[in-house]
Amino acid sequence: MKLVILDRDGVINHDSDQYIKSPEEWTPIAGSLEAIARLHREGYKVIVASNQSGVARGLFDMDTLGRIHAKMLEAVRAKGGEIDAIFFCPHQPDDNCRCRKPLPGLFLEIIDRLKVNLSGVYAVGDTERDIMAARAVAARAVLVRTGKGKRTLKKSKLLADVPVFDDLAAFTEDLLTGRLPAN
């Protein structure tokens, strides 16, 4: 199965240190929706794996998160794409859950639910915790400079072998034109 795993905030949509708390605050990064549509047309399953601690912090509820995701899905479909599944962690760091990245719980849930091996599957993120979670399941970690990506590049010591792209569109271009090995 051709599969790509994407973080949400900072990869698909603009991120905010104050969290994306409503559908109105969710705005796509230029080219990201088209990139997802290209992946879909080329036979890739696109999965989102995202920390959403704003739920546990009381900044928004599950219904609001559902409406944010509905807006994202609608926007992707309007471009001819599809997101096949969304996995998220609603906990905050102090909850000590297994699903919050950098722990691999979301990825393990993807493995369990989809009955797939993530070894060699690209996992695109903008933070060190995205990289760490992907590596824990032998996925191919990729960093984008959007979102917190530029900050991550400046401070992280874990990126020596991680491909870095300007954005999701640049990653998708390299994957689909063969400049990156397919999974």
Please name which of 37, 26, 39, 27 lies closest in space to residue 79, comparing C-alpha atoms.
Answer: 37
For 29-63, the pLDDT digits (tens) are 999 999 999 999 999 999 999 999 999 999 999 99
Q: What is the mean pLDDT of the chain?
A: 97
Q: Confirm whether 130 is a catalytic residue.
A: no
For 148-164, the pLDDT digits (tens) are 999 999 999 889 899 99
- The CATH code belonging to domain 3-149+163-176 is 3.40.50.1000
Q: Which two tokens stand for residue 128?
A: 């060190």
- Main-chain phi, psi angles of 173, to 5 degrees: -60, -50
How many beta carbons lie within 10 A of that of residue 162, not counting itself?
19
Catalytic residue among 9, 15, 126, 130: 9
pTM: 0.97
Q: Confirm whether 17 is a catalytic residue.
A: no
